[in-house]
Structure 1
Amino acid sequence: MRFLFVGRFPEIGGSALATLPLIEALREAEHTVLLAHWVVPRRTDWFSQLDLCNLDLAQQGNLLSKIRCLTQLAIQCDIIIAVSELTPTYACQIAGWLTKKPVYAELQVHLDSWIKQNSSPLHHWLIRSLYPHLSGLRCVSKALLTYATKDLGIDKQKSFLVYNGFDLQQIQIQAQAALPQSMESWFTSTTVLCVGRLSQQKRFDLAILAFQQAQPKLPSDARLVIIGDGPLYTELQQLIAGLNLQNSVFLAGLQTNPFPFFANAALFLLSSDYEGFGRVLIEAMACGCPVIAHDCPVGPREVLEEGKSGLLVTDNQPTTLADAMILLLQNSSWRQQLIESGYLRCYDFEQTTLTQQHVQLLTQHSTH
């Protein structure tokens, strides 16, 4: 079969890491795969090495031109797979209708929460009007599968669950690398780590305020390190300066290998307002780093097995997050227990097994 994948990959981040193993597995099964980029990726050379750098779609100046381009690409393929939500998925659906090709999409995040913070309320109506007409929808968590069928009105027969997979062996090899020399001193004592795009969704402002409140009960040289880049970088810098935390809270920027940071941290904190899966939780646990996570919609509760594999916080407020940090850092036996249970849990998300499951489900759905 001939597959057309369509998505936004501005960075080599979660979306690309979830999609590329699937493309590789389809190619190994002797299927033909084309990847069309909705926007030009920052690292085109990385995709070029994999022969996955078709930029025709990205170079179209408006939505109508993109739909025309997609339609031409769809003619050459048997199945369209939209791996980015909302507008790229809508455009793929239109191209599918014009060419009579099945269209599959992915649900990686709680869409209503994302729309509320980032986009036009019109999308609340569009997803409920258009998504039910998809040929199939892959959800990355059970909670999202429930959301898709109950809230978005998608037929249960069209929805299926496949978790995001992780190359755990590679993560653990990379975790053994040295920290950047300029940042080694940040990890000489008790260090709390946050990782993610510096956006409103991740609520790193709450993490900073929580760390400030926890400081009196933490070692005097405890630190908070935040890895990532994004639109709130300057705002977070100003918050750190305003709280006089320049010597204990550090923005590390985007790191090509974040895993040594996980391996050297005392704990990982996720303070997001919402998630779809929370791949950083698996990465932390794979590196032996215990996790505290806001019990947000959706993902953390499922990944952390109702709190068995990590500490869930129901109230995403600085005081509650601070109390959780103090509690876990002062209880070494519980911390060790979470390290061990988290490490075992991450093996439920082993990449090879889940990718093969995805290929099997996708080809089964496509032939019906």
Structure 2
Amino acid sequence: MKHLAVFLPSLGGGGAEKVMLTLVEHFTARGVRCDLVVAINGGQLTDQVPPGVRLIEFGKRKTIHAVAALANYLRRDKPDALLATVFSANTCALLASALAPGKRRTVVCESSLSEMAYGDDVSVRVQVNRMLASALYRKAHKIVAISKGVRESILRTYSVRESDVRIIYNPICSARNLGNGVHKRRDNLLVACGRLEPPKDYPTMLRAFARVLQQHDARLRILGQGSLREVLEQQCADLGITDRVIFEGFVRDPGRRMCEATVFLHTASFEGFGLVLAEALANGCPVVATDCPGGVREVLDGGKYGILVPVGDDAALANAILSVLRKEVKVSDPSEHLHKFDTECVAEQYMEVLFQ
């Protein structure tokens, strides 16, 4: 029996964590023995670990503090393959593998645009970190990029061979994360889902929504939590739209809201993939999204399956929303397109890179 270890920073409610939980469930069904190893205890998804998967928690405060514990685990349990995702977990996994050499394959999944982590900072510290990350990434047996945009970013940022980077799209998460499609769609309901952090650019969404309300009645539900909630709530008050916006916080089943929505909104300034976009399409919800660097354009096939607008342009975003609310646009049926995000298909590709 093949033995796989999947290493994560924690089991928080992010897209990367949902993807790994979906994959280990399918790996286990294929007869793979799976350990889910996390650096930081707890998280909203802890109770979502699939049956048959062993959860190992190191109880660290930061992911990088788990290097020694992970190396000890690798020496003791000797998994055939180690899969990590999210940059902090990737570097930790590669360091631990170097400290505990063996026959295992070490695969890291990059889920964001690499250069965005460094920005325009040219300080010595940042450049040293970049060189160290490049050296570590070259030690991986394979680097998985979750979109073409992420692959291009990896190749621009790190000194790795093109043949070492393989694109594997994220899977649309299992039924426990998606609605069952029987909920009645509500008129004039807009839904957004994502962390309340700067890269998601909610200020532009709120400005656009205020414009929409000048011409059309609507409500906006925002699913997710983050450091900007109070700032965004104050922006709603300043725009006079507080009574039309609901911040729901973390929602375990966003698919249900997508099934009810008239429009799904996504205003990120950059996005590695955009799992929520694929989930919205799977739930039959029309999508309006920013044409940002990363994977959004791939998920929506260049705008064939959703409306793309420029990043930060609240006027263009408002016009796109109004065109959907007024039923002035019609997008193609995404059913065939969504096959590339099918969990079985994605799991098979991961099995290839993990176990050859």
Residue 253 (structure 2) aligned to one of 246, 254, 257: 257
> Equivalent of 2:158, from 132, 152, 156?
152
Alpha-carbon separation, structure 1, partners of 2:116 and 2:64: 27
Matched, 1:72 2:64: no
Q: Which has the higher helix share?
A: 1
- In 1: Cα distance, 2:343 partner to 2:120 partner: 31
2:49 is matched with 47
User: Bigger CA drift: 268-277 or 353-362?
Assistant: 353-362
Q: 1:169-188 alignment to 2 at 5 Å?
A: 173-177=179-183
Q: Is the 8 A contact 1:275 1:299 kept in 2?
A: yes
The 5 A counterparts of 1:132-151 are 132-151=138-157
Give 1:157 shift: 2.2
Distance (whole Å) between structure 2 residues aligned to residue 117 and residue 196 of structure 1: 25
Q: How does 1:52-63 map to 2 (within 5 A)?
A: 52-55=54-57, 57=58, 59-60=59-60
Partner of 1:21: 22
What is aligned with 2:282?
286
Q: Out of 203-212 and 79-88, give the one that drifted further.
A: 79-88
* Superposed counterparts of 1:58-137, under 5 Å: 59-60=59-60, 66-75=66-75, 76-101=77-102, 102-116=105-119, 121=126, 123-137=129-143
1:224/1:248 contact within 8 Å kept: yes
Do the aligned residues in 2 keep the contact of 1:194 with 1:268 (CA within 8 Å)? yes
TM-score by length of 2: 0.87
Against the structure 1 CA distance between its residues 236 and 52, is the aligned structure 2 distance closer, same or farther, given a 3 Å change threshold? farther
Which residue of 202, 205, 214 corresponds with 2:203? 205
Identity of aligned residues (%): 22
* Residue 34 (structure 1) shift: 1.8
Q: Equivalent residue for 2:6?
A: 5
**Residue 35 of structure 1 pairs with residue 36 of structure 2:** yes
Given that 1:74 and 1:80 are in contact with CA atoms closer than 8 Å, whether structure 2 keeps it comes out as no
- The root-mean-square deviation of aligned C-alpha atoms, in Å, is 2.7
- 2 CA distance for matches of 1:41 and 1:359? 28
Q: Secondary structure at the match of 2:242?
A: coil
What is the rounded CA distance, in whole Å, between the counterparts of 1:64 and 1:256 in structure 2? 28
Q: Separation in 2 of the partners of 1:148 and 1:272?
A: 20
Secondary structure at the counterpart of residue 166 of structure 2 = strand
Are 2:248 and 1:242 aligned?
no
Tell me the CA shift for residue 92 of structure 1: 1.5
SS of aligned partner of 2:180: helix
Three-state SS of the structure 2 residue aligned to 1:217 is: coil
Gaps of 5+ in 2: none
Distance in 2 (alpha carbons) for counterparts of 1:65 and 1:247: 44
Q: Distance in 1 between the 2:285 and 2:19 partners?
A: 22
Distance in 2 (CA, whole Å) between partners of 1:324 and 1:114 is 30
The residue aligned with 2:222 is 226
2: CA distance, partners of 1:246 / 1:62:
36
Unaligned runs of at least 5 residues, structure 1: 179-186
**Deviation digits for residues 106-128 of structure 1, max 9, x if unmatched?**
0111122245499x845444433
Residue 358 in structure 1 maps to residue 350 in structure 2: yes
TM-score in terms of structure 1 length: 0.85
Within the alignment, does 1:319 sit opposite 2:315 as a pair? yes
Counterparts of 1:264 and 1:129 in 2: how far apart (Å)?
47
AA of the residue aligned to 1:243 = L
Deviation at 1:344, TM superposition (A): 4.1
SS at match of 1:230: coil
